[in-house]
Structure 1
Amino acid sequence: MIRSLFSVRHRELPEPVEPGTVLTSAHELHVKLGARHVLRGVDIEARASEVVALVGPNGAGKSTLLAALATDLAPDSGTVRICGRDAGTWSAGELALRRAVLPQSAQLSFPFLVEEVVRMGRAPWSGTPLADNDDEVIAAALRATEATEFTGRPFSALSGGERARVALARVLAQQAPLLLLDEPTAALDLRHQELVLRVCRERAAAGDAVVVVLHDLGLAAAYADRVAVLHEGTIAADGPPAEVFDGELLSRVYRQPVEVLPHPRTGTLLVFPERG
Protein backbone atom coordinates (compact mmCIF):
# COMPACT_ATOMS: atom_id res chain seq x y z
CA MET A 1 0.00 0.00 0.00
CA ILE A 2 2.81 2.40 0.89
CA ARG A 3 4.54 1.59 -2.39
CA SER A 4 1.38 2.31 -4.39
CA LEU A 5 0.81 5.62 -2.57
CA PHE A 6 4.29 6.80 -3.45
CA SER A 7 4.46 5.24 -6.92
CA VAL A 8 7.48 6.47 -8.87
CA ARG A 9 5.41 6.71 -12.03
CA HIS A 10 5.05 10.37 -13.05
CA ARG A 11 6.77 11.45 -9.84
CA GLU A 12 8.97 14.53 -10.05
CA LEU A 13 11.97 14.23 -7.72
CA PRO A 14 13.18 17.36 -5.91
CA GLU A 15 16.04 19.40 -7.33
CA PRO A 16 18.85 20.84 -5.19
CA VAL A 17 18.16 24.41 -4.08
CA GLU A 18 20.41 27.35 -3.29
CA PRO A 19 20.55 28.84 0.22
CA GLY A 20 17.90 31.54 0.54
CA THR A 21 15.46 29.86 -1.84
CA VAL A 22 11.89 30.15 -0.56
CA LEU A 23 10.70 26.60 0.16
CA THR A 24 7.33 27.46 1.64
CA SER A 25 5.22 30.59 1.84
CA ALA A 26 1.74 31.67 2.79
CA HIS A 27 0.00 34.78 1.49
CA GLU A 28 -3.14 36.37 2.93
CA LEU A 29 -3.92 33.14 4.76
CA HIS A 30 -7.30 32.97 6.50
CA VAL A 31 -8.43 29.91 8.44
CA LYS A 32 -11.67 29.44 10.35
CA LEU A 33 -12.28 26.54 12.71
CA GLY A 34 -15.99 26.48 13.40
CA ALA A 35 -17.05 30.02 14.20
CA ARG A 36 -13.55 31.06 15.24
CA HIS A 37 -11.32 33.01 12.86
CA VAL A 38 -7.97 31.41 13.80
CA LEU A 39 -5.71 33.00 11.16
CA ARG A 40 -6.36 36.44 9.74
CA GLY A 41 -4.46 37.37 6.60
CA VAL A 42 -1.12 35.80 7.55
CA ASP A 43 1.92 36.25 5.30
CA ILE A 44 5.05 34.21 6.01
CA GLU A 45 7.86 32.42 4.22
CA ALA A 46 10.71 30.07 5.07
CA ARG A 47 13.92 29.83 3.08
CA ALA A 48 16.51 27.14 2.56
CA SER A 49 19.26 27.22 5.22
CA GLU A 50 17.20 28.94 7.91
CA VAL A 51 15.30 28.04 11.06
CA VAL A 52 12.03 29.92 11.53
CA ALA A 53 10.39 29.70 14.96
CA LEU A 54 6.66 30.28 15.40
CA VAL A 55 5.98 31.56 18.91
CA GLY A 56 3.03 33.04 20.75
CA PRO A 57 0.54 32.23 23.50
CA ASN A 58 -1.90 29.34 23.44
CA GLY A 59 -4.57 29.87 20.82
CA ALA A 60 -2.55 32.37 18.80
CA GLY A 61 -2.66 30.16 15.67
CA LYS A 62 0.82 28.61 15.62
CA SER A 63 -0.19 24.98 15.07
CA THR A 64 -2.93 26.01 12.65
CA LEU A 65 -0.41 27.95 10.57
CA LEU A 66 1.98 24.99 10.57
CA ALA A 67 -0.83 22.64 9.49
CA ALA A 68 -1.74 24.99 6.66
CA LEU A 69 1.89 25.19 5.51
CA ALA A 70 1.97 21.38 5.56
CA THR A 71 -1.25 21.25 3.48
CA ASP A 72 -2.83 19.17 6.25
CA LEU A 73 -5.40 21.94 6.72
CA ALA A 74 -7.06 23.76 3.83
CA PRO A 75 -7.30 27.53 4.29
CA ASP A 76 -10.57 29.35 3.81
CA SER A 77 -8.72 31.82 1.62
CA GLY A 78 -5.17 32.69 0.69
CA THR A 79 -2.40 30.65 -0.89
CA VAL A 80 0.30 28.25 0.27
CA ARG A 81 3.27 27.47 -1.95
CA ILE A 82 5.84 24.70 -1.51
CA CYS A 83 9.06 24.62 -3.50
CA GLY A 84 7.87 27.27 -5.93
CA ARG A 85 4.45 25.79 -6.73
CA ASP A 86 0.95 26.05 -5.37
CA ALA A 87 0.87 23.38 -2.67
CA GLY A 88 -2.26 21.80 -4.10
CA THR A 89 -0.60 20.99 -7.42
CA TRP A 90 1.81 18.44 -5.92
CA SER A 91 0.76 14.80 -5.77
CA ALA A 92 0.91 13.11 -2.37
CA GLY A 93 4.13 11.34 -3.31
CA GLU A 94 5.81 14.47 -4.68
CA LEU A 95 4.77 16.47 -1.62
CA ALA A 96 6.23 13.83 0.73
CA LEU A 97 9.58 14.24 -1.02
CA ARG A 98 9.55 17.96 -0.30
CA ARG A 99 8.13 18.45 3.17
CA ALA A 100 8.19 16.35 6.33
CA VAL A 101 5.81 17.03 9.21
CA LEU A 102 6.18 16.31 12.91
CA PRO A 103 2.79 16.60 14.67
CA GLN A 104 2.42 17.49 18.34
CA SER A 105 1.83 13.89 19.36
CA ALA A 106 2.72 10.58 17.73
CA GLN A 107 0.12 7.83 18.06
CA LEU A 108 0.21 4.44 16.32
CA SER A 109 -2.54 1.82 16.35
CA PHE A 110 -0.27 -1.18 15.72
CA PRO A 111 2.72 -2.47 17.75
CA PHE A 112 5.45 -1.31 15.34
CA LEU A 113 9.06 -1.56 16.43
CA VAL A 114 11.01 1.70 16.61
CA GLU A 115 13.09 0.82 13.56
CA GLU A 116 9.90 0.18 11.58
CA VAL A 117 8.51 3.57 12.60
CA VAL A 118 11.63 5.38 11.43
CA ARG A 119 11.69 3.34 8.22
CA MET A 120 8.24 4.75 7.41
CA GLY A 121 10.03 8.01 6.70
CA ARG A 122 11.75 6.36 3.75
CA ALA A 123 8.48 5.39 2.00
CA PRO A 124 8.48 8.40 -0.38
CA TRP A 125 11.84 7.30 -1.78
CA SER A 126 10.72 3.74 -2.58
CA GLY A 127 11.64 2.82 -6.13
CA THR A 128 14.15 5.65 -6.54
CA PRO A 129 17.97 5.33 -6.53
CA LEU A 130 18.08 6.90 -3.05
CA ALA A 131 16.16 3.94 -1.64
CA ASP A 132 19.46 2.05 -1.72
CA ASN A 133 20.59 4.26 1.17
CA ASP A 134 17.63 3.47 3.43
CA ASP A 135 19.55 1.56 6.12
CA GLU A 136 22.29 4.18 6.31
CA VAL A 137 19.81 7.06 6.50
CA ILE A 138 17.72 5.34 9.19
CA ALA A 139 20.80 4.62 11.31
CA ALA A 140 21.94 8.25 11.00
CA ALA A 141 18.50 9.56 12.00
CA LEU A 142 18.43 7.33 15.09
CA ARG A 143 21.92 8.49 16.08
CA ALA A 144 21.03 12.15 15.60
CA THR A 145 18.08 11.84 17.99
CA GLU A 146 19.88 9.54 20.46
CA ALA A 147 17.30 6.83 19.80
CA THR A 148 19.53 4.01 18.57
CA GLU A 149 19.13 2.06 21.79
CA PHE A 150 15.36 1.87 21.22
CA THR A 151 15.63 0.26 17.77
CA GLY A 152 14.21 -3.15 18.72
CA ARG A 153 11.61 -1.93 21.19
CA PRO A 154 7.89 -1.47 20.44
CA PHE A 155 7.06 2.19 19.86
CA SER A 156 4.10 1.82 22.25
CA ALA A 157 6.46 0.82 25.09
CA LEU A 158 8.41 4.09 25.00
CA SER A 159 7.96 7.09 27.27
CA GLY A 160 6.50 10.29 25.86
CA GLY A 161 9.92 11.86 25.44
CA GLU A 162 11.35 8.74 23.79
CA ARG A 163 8.43 8.63 21.37
CA ALA A 164 9.04 12.27 20.50
CA ARG A 165 12.66 11.55 19.60
CA VAL A 166 11.72 8.53 17.48
CA ALA A 167 9.06 10.59 15.69
CA LEU A 168 11.71 13.20 14.92
CA ALA A 169 14.02 10.46 13.63
CA ARG A 170 11.26 9.42 11.21
CA VAL A 171 11.03 13.02 9.96
CA LEU A 172 14.81 13.21 9.50
CA ALA A 173 14.84 9.89 7.64
CA GLN A 174 12.37 11.34 5.14
CA GLN A 175 15.14 13.69 3.93
CA ALA A 176 12.73 16.36 2.74
CA PRO A 177 14.20 19.85 2.27
CA LEU A 178 11.35 21.43 4.29
CA LEU A 179 10.81 20.35 7.91
CA LEU A 180 7.65 21.44 9.73
CA LEU A 181 7.86 20.62 13.45
CA ASP A 182 5.03 21.24 15.90
CA GLU A 183 6.30 21.63 19.48
CA PRO A 184 9.07 19.04 19.11
CA THR A 185 10.49 19.86 22.57
CA ALA A 186 7.22 19.70 24.54
CA ALA A 187 7.80 16.23 26.08
CA LEU A 188 11.58 16.43 26.38
CA ASP A 189 14.01 16.98 29.22
CA LEU A 190 16.54 19.80 29.16
CA ARG A 191 19.26 17.81 27.41
CA HIS A 192 17.01 16.62 24.62
CA GLN A 193 15.37 20.01 24.11
CA GLU A 194 18.82 21.34 23.29
CA LEU A 195 19.52 18.28 21.14
CA VAL A 196 16.41 18.84 19.01
CA LEU A 197 17.22 22.49 18.38
CA ARG A 198 20.82 21.61 17.51
CA VAL A 199 19.44 19.12 14.99
CA CYS A 200 17.29 21.92 13.54
CA ARG A 201 20.37 24.10 13.16
CA GLU A 202 22.30 21.23 11.55
CA ARG A 203 19.52 20.65 9.03
CA ALA A 204 19.47 24.35 8.18
CA ALA A 205 23.26 24.34 7.79
CA ALA A 206 22.84 21.43 5.36
CA GLY A 207 20.43 23.53 3.26
CA ASP A 208 16.99 22.64 4.62
CA ALA A 209 14.30 25.07 5.72
CA VAL A 210 12.99 24.35 9.22
CA VAL A 211 9.77 25.81 10.61
CA VAL A 212 9.30 24.96 14.27
CA VAL A 213 6.57 25.81 16.78
CA LEU A 214 8.10 26.61 20.17
CA HIS A 215 6.81 27.75 23.53
CA ASP A 216 10.28 28.29 25.00
CA LEU A 217 11.29 31.80 23.94
CA GLY A 218 14.83 31.18 25.18
CA LEU A 219 15.26 28.29 22.75
CA ALA A 220 13.83 30.39 19.93
CA ALA A 221 16.23 33.23 20.75
CA ALA A 222 19.22 30.90 20.87
CA TYR A 223 18.59 28.79 17.77
CA ALA A 224 16.25 30.51 15.30
CA ASP A 225 17.36 32.71 12.43
CA ARG A 226 13.92 34.30 12.34
CA VAL A 227 11.01 34.41 14.74
CA ALA A 228 7.37 35.04 13.89
CA VAL A 229 5.34 36.13 16.91
CA LEU A 230 1.68 35.20 16.48
CA HIS A 231 -1.00 37.14 18.31
CA GLU A 232 -4.74 36.60 17.92
CA GLY A 233 -4.37 35.03 14.49
CA THR A 234 -1.99 37.60 13.03
CA ILE A 235 1.78 37.99 12.95
CA ALA A 236 2.68 40.73 15.39
CA ALA A 237 6.37 40.68 14.44
CA ASP A 238 8.66 38.73 12.11
CA GLY A 239 12.43 38.98 12.00
CA PRO A 240 15.68 38.03 13.74
CA PRO A 241 15.26 37.35 17.46
CA ALA A 242 17.41 40.36 18.41
CA GLU A 243 14.95 42.62 16.57
CA VAL A 244 11.69 40.85 17.39
CA PHE A 245 12.12 39.93 21.03
CA ASP A 246 11.20 43.19 22.68
CA GLY A 247 10.01 43.22 26.26
CA GLU A 248 7.13 45.58 25.56
CA LEU A 249 5.87 43.55 22.57
CA LEU A 250 6.15 40.20 24.34
CA SER A 251 4.51 41.55 27.48
CA ARG A 252 1.55 42.73 25.40
CA VAL A 253 1.26 39.49 23.41
CA TYR A 254 1.58 37.15 26.39
CA ARG A 255 -0.32 39.42 28.81
CA GLN A 256 2.52 38.82 31.25
CA PRO A 257 5.47 41.13 32.01
CA VAL A 258 8.48 39.78 30.11
CA GLU A 259 12.14 40.77 30.36
CA VAL A 260 14.66 40.47 27.54
CA LEU A 261 18.30 40.77 28.57
CA PRO A 262 21.69 39.84 27.06
CA HIS A 263 23.53 36.97 28.69
CA PRO A 264 26.38 38.51 30.72
CA ARG A 265 28.99 36.19 29.19
CA THR A 266 27.80 35.30 25.68
CA GLY A 267 25.46 38.15 24.81
CA THR A 268 22.75 35.67 23.77
CA LEU A 269 19.25 36.93 24.46
CA LEU A 270 17.63 35.74 27.66
CA VAL A 271 13.83 35.89 27.70
CA PHE A 272 11.92 35.23 30.90
CA PRO A 273 8.84 36.43 32.82
CA GLU A 274 9.28 39.18 35.35
CA ARG A 275 8.98 37.82 38.86
CA GLY A 276 8.76 39.51 42.21
Structure 2
Amino acid sequence: MRGVLRGGRLSRLVPSRPVPPEPAAPGEVLAEAEDLRVRLAGRLILDGVGVHVRAGEVLALVGPNGAGKSTLLGALSADLTPAEGTVRIHGRPTTAWSAPELALRRSVLPQSASLSFPFPVEDVVRMGRAPWAGTEREDEDDAVVAEAMARTEVTAFAGRPFSALSGGERARVALARVLAQQAPLVLLDEPTAALDLRHQELVLRLCRERAAAGDAVVVVLHDLGLAAAYAHRVAVLRGGRVAADGPPSEVFSDALLSEVYDQPVEVLAHPRTGEVLVTPRRVP
Protein backbone atom coordinates (compact mmCIF):
# COMPACT_ATOMS: atom_id res chain seq x y z
CA MET A 1 0.00 0.00 0.00
CA ARG A 2 1.11 3.56 -0.70
CA GLY A 3 0.02 6.66 1.19
CA VAL A 4 0.52 10.40 1.49
CA LEU A 5 2.05 11.89 4.68
CA ARG A 6 0.21 14.93 5.89
CA GLY A 7 0.74 16.44 9.31
CA GLY A 8 2.93 13.56 10.32
CA ARG A 9 0.43 10.82 9.55
CA LEU A 10 -0.66 8.74 6.61
CA SER A 11 -3.83 10.36 5.32
CA ARG A 12 -4.68 8.24 2.28
CA LEU A 13 -3.81 4.70 1.26
CA VAL A 14 -3.57 3.67 -2.38
CA PRO A 15 -3.03 0.04 -3.40
CA SER A 16 0.37 -0.39 -5.07
CA ARG A 17 0.50 -2.08 -8.44
CA PRO A 18 2.26 -5.46 -8.55
CA VAL A 19 5.54 -5.46 -10.43
CA PRO A 20 5.57 -7.64 -13.57
CA PRO A 21 8.27 -10.32 -13.68
CA GLU A 22 11.50 -9.84 -15.56
CA PRO A 23 11.89 -11.92 -18.75
CA ALA A 24 12.97 -15.44 -17.86
CA ALA A 25 16.30 -16.84 -18.97
CA PRO A 26 16.13 -19.93 -21.21
CA GLY A 27 15.83 -23.02 -19.04
CA GLU A 28 14.90 -21.06 -15.90
CA VAL A 29 12.51 -22.94 -13.63
CA LEU A 30 9.23 -20.99 -13.55
CA ALA A 31 7.21 -23.54 -11.59
CA GLU A 32 8.07 -26.58 -9.51
CA ALA A 33 6.45 -29.00 -7.11
CA GLU A 34 8.35 -30.90 -4.45
CA ASP A 35 7.02 -33.98 -2.63
CA LEU A 36 3.50 -32.84 -3.35
CA ARG A 37 0.55 -34.52 -1.69
CA VAL A 38 -2.99 -33.37 -2.41
CA ARG A 39 -6.18 -34.71 -0.84
CA LEU A 40 -9.64 -34.05 -2.23
CA ALA A 41 -12.76 -35.16 -0.36
CA GLY A 42 -10.52 -37.14 1.97
CA ARG A 43 -8.88 -39.08 -0.86
CA LEU A 44 -5.17 -38.85 -1.64
CA ILE A 45 -4.97 -37.74 -5.30
CA LEU A 46 -1.28 -36.85 -5.55
CA ASP A 47 1.25 -38.79 -3.51
CA GLY A 48 4.80 -37.43 -3.37
CA VAL A 49 4.85 -35.79 -6.81
CA GLY A 50 7.83 -33.77 -7.94
CA VAL A 51 7.97 -31.89 -11.23
CA HIS A 52 9.57 -28.75 -12.63
CA VAL A 53 8.65 -26.50 -15.55
CA ARG A 54 11.29 -24.54 -17.43
CA ALA A 55 11.13 -21.46 -19.61
CA GLY A 56 11.30 -22.39 -23.27
CA GLU A 57 9.66 -25.81 -22.98
CA VAL A 58 6.28 -27.48 -23.37
CA LEU A 59 5.64 -30.02 -20.62
CA ALA A 60 2.77 -32.44 -21.28
CA LEU A 61 1.05 -34.17 -18.38
CA VAL A 62 -0.32 -37.50 -19.58
CA GLY A 63 -1.82 -40.56 -17.97
CA PRO A 64 -5.12 -42.42 -17.57
CA ASN A 65 -8.28 -40.97 -16.09
CA GLY A 66 -7.89 -40.33 -12.37
CA ALA A 67 -4.09 -40.30 -12.48
CA GLY A 68 -3.94 -36.77 -11.01
CA LYS A 69 -3.11 -34.68 -14.09
CA SER A 70 -5.67 -31.92 -13.54
CA THR A 71 -5.00 -31.93 -9.80
CA LEU A 72 -1.29 -31.38 -10.44
CA LEU A 73 -2.10 -28.55 -12.82
CA GLY A 74 -4.37 -27.00 -10.18
CA ALA A 75 -1.61 -27.21 -7.59
CA LEU A 76 0.95 -25.67 -9.96
CA SER A 77 -1.47 -22.80 -10.63
CA ALA A 78 -2.02 -22.21 -6.88
CA ASP A 79 -5.73 -22.97 -7.28
CA LEU A 80 -5.41 -26.06 -5.04
CA THR A 81 -3.72 -26.13 -1.66
CA PRO A 82 -1.53 -29.21 -1.06
CA ALA A 83 -1.78 -31.20 2.14
CA GLU A 84 2.00 -31.58 2.08
CA GLY A 85 4.89 -30.44 -0.06
CA THR A 86 5.75 -27.16 -1.74
CA VAL A 87 4.78 -25.47 -4.98
CA ARG A 88 6.90 -22.57 -6.20
CA ILE A 89 6.22 -20.10 -8.97
CA HIS A 90 9.16 -17.97 -10.10
CA GLY A 91 11.20 -19.32 -7.20
CA ARG A 92 8.78 -18.38 -4.41
CA PRO A 93 6.13 -20.47 -2.67
CA THR A 94 2.72 -19.78 -4.16
CA THR A 95 1.52 -18.56 -0.76
CA ALA A 96 4.09 -15.74 -0.90
CA TRP A 97 2.43 -14.17 -3.97
CA SER A 98 -0.67 -12.02 -3.89
CA ALA A 99 -3.46 -12.75 -6.39
CA PRO A 100 -2.51 -9.75 -8.59
CA GLU A 101 1.14 -10.85 -8.58
CA LEU A 102 0.19 -14.38 -9.57
CA ALA A 103 -1.99 -13.07 -12.38
CA LEU A 104 1.08 -11.46 -13.95
CA ARG A 105 3.07 -14.68 -13.67
CA ARG A 106 0.74 -17.50 -14.64
CA SER A 107 -2.36 -17.91 -16.75
CA VAL A 108 -4.72 -20.86 -16.46
CA LEU A 109 -7.10 -22.53 -18.90
CA PRO A 110 -9.54 -24.83 -17.03
CA GLN A 111 -11.16 -27.87 -18.60
CA SER A 112 -14.45 -26.10 -19.23
CA ALA A 113 -15.24 -22.45 -19.78
CA SER A 114 -18.63 -21.06 -18.75
CA LEU A 115 -19.98 -17.58 -18.09
CA SER A 116 -23.24 -16.57 -16.44
CA PHE A 117 -23.74 -13.50 -18.65
CA PRO A 118 -23.78 -13.30 -22.47
CA PHE A 119 -20.54 -11.35 -22.84
CA PRO A 120 -19.37 -10.80 -26.43
CA VAL A 121 -16.36 -12.85 -27.45
CA GLU A 122 -14.06 -9.84 -27.63
CA ASP A 123 -14.96 -8.85 -24.07
CA VAL A 124 -14.17 -12.36 -22.84
CA VAL A 125 -10.75 -12.23 -24.46
CA ARG A 126 -10.20 -8.74 -23.05
CA MET A 127 -10.69 -10.14 -19.54
CA GLY A 128 -7.21 -11.58 -19.91
CA ARG A 129 -5.81 -8.05 -19.87
CA ALA A 130 -7.17 -7.29 -16.36
CA PRO A 131 -3.79 -7.86 -14.61
CA TRP A 132 -2.24 -5.09 -16.73
CA ALA A 133 -4.82 -2.41 -15.84
CA GLY A 134 -3.14 0.75 -14.60
CA THR A 135 0.28 -0.22 -15.95
CA GLU A 136 2.26 1.19 -18.87
CA ARG A 137 1.28 -1.87 -20.89
CA GLU A 138 -2.42 -1.05 -20.62
CA ASP A 139 -2.05 0.86 -23.89
CA GLU A 140 -1.26 -2.46 -25.61
CA ASP A 141 -4.65 -3.98 -24.76
CA ASP A 142 -6.36 -3.47 -28.12
CA ALA A 143 -3.44 -4.84 -30.14
CA VAL A 144 -2.87 -7.79 -27.81
CA VAL A 145 -6.55 -8.77 -27.81
CA ALA A 146 -6.76 -8.52 -31.59
CA GLU A 147 -3.66 -10.68 -32.01
CA ALA A 148 -4.87 -13.31 -29.53
CA MET A 149 -8.19 -13.61 -31.37
CA ALA A 150 -6.44 -13.85 -34.73
CA ARG A 151 -4.03 -16.53 -33.53
CA THR A 152 -6.87 -18.68 -32.20
CA GLU A 153 -9.08 -17.98 -35.25
CA VAL A 154 -11.99 -16.43 -33.36
CA THR A 155 -11.93 -12.92 -34.88
CA ALA A 156 -14.85 -13.71 -37.18
CA PHE A 157 -17.23 -14.03 -34.26
CA ALA A 158 -15.78 -11.33 -32.00
CA GLY A 159 -19.22 -9.76 -31.50
CA ARG A 160 -21.17 -12.94 -30.85
CA PRO A 161 -22.24 -13.85 -27.30
CA PHE A 162 -19.90 -16.36 -25.72
CA SER A 163 -22.93 -18.41 -24.64
CA ALA A 164 -23.98 -18.88 -28.28
CA LEU A 165 -20.75 -20.58 -29.32
CA SER A 166 -20.09 -24.27 -29.83
CA GLY A 167 -17.91 -26.13 -27.36
CA GLY A 168 -14.90 -25.96 -29.66
CA GLU A 169 -15.40 -22.26 -30.31
CA ARG A 170 -15.63 -21.56 -26.59
CA ALA A 171 -12.43 -23.49 -26.01
CA ARG A 172 -10.57 -21.34 -28.55
CA VAL A 173 -11.98 -18.10 -27.07
CA ALA A 174 -10.87 -19.22 -23.62
CA LEU A 175 -7.41 -19.91 -25.01
CA ALA A 176 -7.35 -16.45 -26.59
CA ARG A 177 -8.06 -14.98 -23.15
CA VAL A 178 -5.10 -16.90 -21.74
CA LEU A 179 -2.82 -15.70 -24.54
CA ALA A 180 -3.97 -12.10 -24.03
CA GLN A 181 -2.92 -12.30 -20.40
CA GLN A 182 0.72 -12.64 -21.52
CA ALA A 183 1.91 -14.45 -18.41
CA PRO A 184 5.22 -16.32 -18.78
CA LEU A 185 3.80 -19.52 -17.23
CA VAL A 186 0.89 -20.98 -19.21
CA LEU A 187 -1.16 -23.82 -17.71
CA LEU A 188 -3.69 -25.55 -19.98
CA ASP A 189 -6.05 -28.33 -18.90
CA GLU A 190 -7.11 -30.48 -21.87
CA PRO A 191 -7.19 -27.57 -24.34
CA THR A 192 -7.76 -29.90 -27.33
CA ALA A 193 -10.61 -31.99 -25.87
CA ALA A 194 -13.45 -30.24 -27.74
CA LEU A 195 -11.52 -29.42 -30.91
CA ASP A 196 -11.45 -30.85 -34.40
CA LEU A 197 -8.20 -32.08 -35.97
CA ARG A 198 -7.26 -28.72 -37.49
CA HIS A 199 -7.70 -26.81 -34.27
CA GLN A 200 -6.00 -29.44 -32.14
CA GLU A 201 -2.91 -28.90 -34.27
CA LEU A 202 -3.37 -25.12 -34.08
CA VAL A 203 -3.48 -25.14 -30.28
CA LEU A 204 -0.35 -27.28 -29.93
CA ARG A 205 1.50 -25.14 -32.46
CA LEU A 206 0.61 -22.11 -30.35
CA CYS A 207 2.02 -23.91 -27.31
CA ARG A 208 5.31 -24.48 -29.13
CA GLU A 209 5.37 -20.86 -30.28
CA ARG A 210 4.89 -19.60 -26.71
CA ALA A 211 7.73 -21.84 -25.56
CA ALA A 212 9.95 -20.61 -28.40
CA ALA A 213 9.21 -17.04 -27.24
CA GLY A 214 10.49 -17.95 -23.76
CA ASP A 215 7.35 -18.99 -21.89
CA ALA A 216 6.90 -22.21 -19.93
CA VAL A 217 3.84 -24.18 -21.02
CA VAL A 218 2.20 -27.05 -19.13
CA VAL A 219 -0.56 -28.87 -20.98
CA VAL A 220 -2.73 -31.79 -19.88
CA LEU A 221 -3.29 -34.12 -22.83
CA HIS A 222 -5.02 -37.43 -23.43
CA ASP A 223 -3.76 -37.75 -26.99
CA LEU A 224 -0.34 -39.38 -26.71
CA GLY A 225 0.33 -38.68 -30.37
CA LEU A 226 -0.04 -34.94 -29.81
CA ALA A 227 2.15 -35.15 -26.71
CA ALA A 228 4.85 -37.01 -28.66
CA ALA A 229 4.71 -34.52 -31.54
CA TYR A 230 4.67 -31.24 -29.63
CA ALA A 231 5.95 -31.66 -26.08
CA HIS A 232 9.62 -31.17 -25.27
CA ARG A 233 9.06 -33.23 -22.15
CA VAL A 234 6.31 -35.47 -20.80
CA ALA A 235 5.43 -36.45 -17.25
CA VAL A 236 3.49 -39.72 -17.19
CA LEU A 237 1.22 -39.92 -14.14
CA ARG A 238 -0.19 -43.12 -12.70
CA GLY A 239 -2.10 -43.46 -9.43
CA GLY A 240 -1.09 -40.03 -8.18
CA ARG A 241 2.62 -40.53 -8.83
CA VAL A 242 5.00 -39.67 -11.66
CA ALA A 243 5.85 -42.94 -13.42
CA ALA A 244 8.27 -41.31 -15.86
CA ASP A 245 9.53 -37.84 -16.81
CA GLY A 246 11.60 -36.91 -19.84
CA PRO A 247 11.55 -36.36 -23.63
CA PRO A 248 8.81 -38.36 -25.39
CA SER A 249 11.39 -40.27 -27.44
CA GLU A 250 12.97 -41.55 -24.21
CA VAL A 251 9.88 -41.97 -22.03
CA PHE A 252 7.30 -43.43 -24.40
CA SER A 253 7.81 -47.16 -24.74
CA ASP A 254 5.54 -50.12 -25.42
CA ALA A 255 6.16 -51.55 -21.96
CA LEU A 256 5.61 -48.36 -19.94
CA LEU A 257 2.51 -47.14 -21.75
CA SER A 258 0.94 -50.60 -21.88
CA GLU A 259 1.39 -50.91 -18.13
CA VAL A 260 0.24 -47.38 -17.27
CA TYR A 261 -2.88 -47.50 -19.43
CA ASP A 262 -3.65 -51.20 -18.89
CA GLN A 263 -3.98 -51.45 -22.66
CA PRO A 264 -1.51 -52.91 -25.18
CA VAL A 265 0.25 -50.01 -26.88
CA GLU A 266 2.78 -49.84 -29.71
CA VAL A 267 5.37 -47.08 -30.02
CA LEU A 268 6.66 -46.78 -33.57
CA ALA A 269 8.92 -44.54 -35.60
CA HIS A 270 7.21 -42.59 -38.37
CA PRO A 271 8.38 -44.12 -41.67
CA ARG A 272 9.20 -40.74 -43.19
CA THR A 273 10.25 -38.47 -40.29
CA GLY A 274 11.30 -40.96 -37.62
CA GLU A 275 9.15 -39.15 -35.05
CA VAL A 276 7.44 -41.10 -32.28
CA LEU A 277 4.01 -42.55 -33.07
CA VAL A 278 1.79 -44.09 -30.38
CA THR A 279 -1.09 -46.39 -31.26
CA PRO A 280 -3.18 -49.01 -29.44
CA ARG A 281 -2.30 -52.58 -30.36
CA ARG A 282 -5.50 -53.96 -31.83
CA VAL A 283 -6.30 -57.62 -32.46
CA PRO A 284 -7.51 -58.20 -36.05
Place the TM-score, normalised by the shorter chain, in its bin.
over 0.9
For the residue of structure 1 that corresponds to 2:227, the secondary structure is helix
Match of 1:189 in 2: 196
Deviations 1:65-90 (A, max 9, x none): 00000010100010000011111111
Does structure 1 residue 30 correspond to structure 2 residue 37? yes
**Structure 1 segments (4+ residues) deviating >4 Å:** none
| Cα-to-partner distance string for 1:207-239 (whole Å, 9 max, x where unaligned) | 000000000000000000000000000000000
Instruction: State the partner residue of 2:237.
Output: 230
Q: Which has the larger radius of gyration?
A: 2
Q: Distance in 1 between matches of 2:139 and 2:224?
A: 40
* 2:6 alignment partner in structure 1: none
Structure 1 residues 134, 10: closer, same or farther in 2, change over 3 A? closer
Separation in structure 1 between the aligned mates of residue 201 and residue 22 of structure 2, nearest angstrom: 31
1:162 is aligned to 169
Structure 1: distance between partners of 2:197 and 2:121: 23
- Name the structure 1 match of 2:120: 113
Q: Is the 8 A contact 1:221 1:242 kept in 2?
A: yes
Residue in 2 that maps onto 1:4: none
Contact map agreement 1:52 1:225 (CA 8 A) in 2: yes
Determine what percentage of the aligned residue pairs are the same residue: 72
Taking the aligned partners of 1:106 and 1:34, their CA distance within structure 2 comes to: 23
> Does 1:210 pair with 2:212?
no
Specify the alignment match of 1:82 in structure 2: 89
Q: CA RMSD in A?
A: 0.9
Structure 2 unpaired stretches of 5+: 1-13
Partner of 1:142: 149
Q: Give 1:55 shift.
A: 0.1
Instruction: Tell whether 2:257 aligns with 1:250.
Output: yes
Give, in whole Å, the separation in 1 of the partners of 2:171 and 2:157: 12
From 54, 66, 77, the equivalent of 2:61 is 54
Q: Which residue of 1 is the match for residue 50 of structure 2?
A: 43
Quick one: which of 176, 182, 186 aligns to 1:179?
186
Is the Cα contact below 8 Å between 1:55 and 1:215 reproduced in 2? yes
Write out per-residue CA displacement over residues 151-195 of structure 1, whole angstroms, 9 at most, x where no aligned residue. 000000000000000000000000000000000000000000000
How far off its partner does 1:35 sit? Answer: 2.9
The equivalent residue for 2:270 is 263
Structure 1 length-normalised TM: 0.97
Whether 2:160 is the aligned partner of 1:153: answer yes
Contact 1:8–1:128 (Cα < 8 Å) also in 2: no
Structure 1 pair 135/112, CA: closer, same or farther in 2 (3 Å)? same
1:108-157: CA deviations, max 9, x gaps?
Answer: 00110000000000000000011100000001100110111110000000
Instruction: Give 1:8 deviation, angstroms.
Output: 6.4
CA distance in 2, matches of 1:151, 1:221: 33
**C-alpha deviation, 1:12, in angstroms:** 2.1
Instruction: Give the counterpart letter for 1:220 in structure 2.
Output: A
When the two structures are aligned, how many residues end up with a matched partner?
270
